[in-house]
Amino acid sequence: MKPVVFGIAAETLNDEERALFRDSDPAGYILFARNVADRDQLRALTDELREISGRDNVPILIDQEGGRVVRMKPPVWPEFPPWAKFDALYDKAPISAIEAARSNAHAIGLTLAECGITVDCLPLLDVRQPGAHDVIGDRALGFEPMRVAALGRAVLDGLAEAGVAGVVKHIPGHGRAMVDTHKALPRVTASAEELASDVAPFRKLADAPMAMTAHIVFEAWDPDRCATLSPIVIDTIIRGEIGFDGLLFSDDLDMQALEGDPADRAVAVVEAGCDIGLNCWARMDEMKRTVERLDDISAVSRERLDRAMEAVRPAETADALDALIDKRDRLLALA
């Protein structure tokens, strides 16, 4: 098995993808809107990925957050609100906000499980900061660390009730970034003392099954390398101070915050301490080079992968979906 998650080019696999995936056995796969048409198509695609991998619980990831970040869209699937709405409800009724967040995540999870998707890249534990770039914005769970942690726990629990694993992101925190990591490399100049509030939600949810790194330089910790590429940040902050011992993904290796060939980036993130790199864009030449460059997944990373996927179970009935959405909407109306 190679410590990489690959994207797929279209709504069905092509012969070259099938051959590469069978030969290389990537750790998992990630889906985007380009891979999604309807329930039957999506289920057939995920079933084939399972058959190729030989693993019933192979990680099949998607970014199905709600709001402006969704891959499975109406009218085929329900519309899910941005997470800022749950933060607004928390101002008036914290317990109701937590229950609304859990119901919303459970509903999202049911739509994923029905189609054979096992991992949602959610929740964001990035503590929102005034004046920061809007790449996080209303995707965040709030400005206050313990509120973010409480709502984040509800999201993880809701996904788990549907048999879907959650990925906390973007560890150790994306909330202070002044530029979009898709376009450039942010540098955060906050002190270690100031950054304590950024890592606080991740510390509270250090038992999450999976996490995704931030392509951000934190000058207080490592002024030379972004978190994704920094053994200092991964070992001392993420594994040490935060205490996270789950499966650690890099964020997308194709973002312009990183430099160099994507295959070289994949090697670099694993050498820095990430368990698995995300190669999302399904460019065959890049995927082949990545397979050639990467060693097999380490025993430690494989154990983390297996542990993270233990909670994933066969898709349950989606009969409860409408009731969960109705409950969420009734609670959100309180705000």
Q: Where are the domains of the chain?
A: 55-266+303-332
Strand partners, 279: 6
Give which of 114, 246, 109 is closest to 164, Cα–Cα.
Answer: 109
Tell me the per-residue pLDDT of 85-113, one tens digit each, with 9 for 90 and over. 999 999 999 999 999 999 999 999 999 99
Token pair recorded at residue 68: 């402006």
What are the structure tokens assigned to 327, written together? 């409950």
Q: Which of 25, 120, 198, 251 is catalytic?
A: 251
Among 243, 278, 234, which Cα is nearest to 27's?
A: 278
DSSP secondary structure letter of residue 71: S
What's the pLDDT at 317? Answer: 59
Q: Which of 3.40.50.10490, 3.20.20.300, 3.40.50.300, 1.10.10.60 would CATH assign to domain 55-266+303-332? A: 3.20.20.300
Per-residue pLDDT, 256: 84
What residue ranges of the chain have pLDDT lower than 50?
none
Q: Which residues of 275-306 are buried (b: 16+ CB within 10 A; e: fewer)?
A: bbbbbbbbbeebbebbbebbeebeeebbebbe
How far is residue 317 from each of residues 78, 102, 125, 162, measured CA to CA in Å? 16, 18, 29, 9
Residue 293, both tokens: 């460059």
Active site residue 251: yes
- At 259 the pLDDT is 87
Reading the block at residue 89, the tokens are 């409800």
Residues found in the chain: 335
pLDDT at residue 294, rounded to an integer: 98
182 is catalytic: yes
Residue 314: the pLDDT is 64
Q: Which of 182, 245, 296, 329 is catalytic?
A: 182
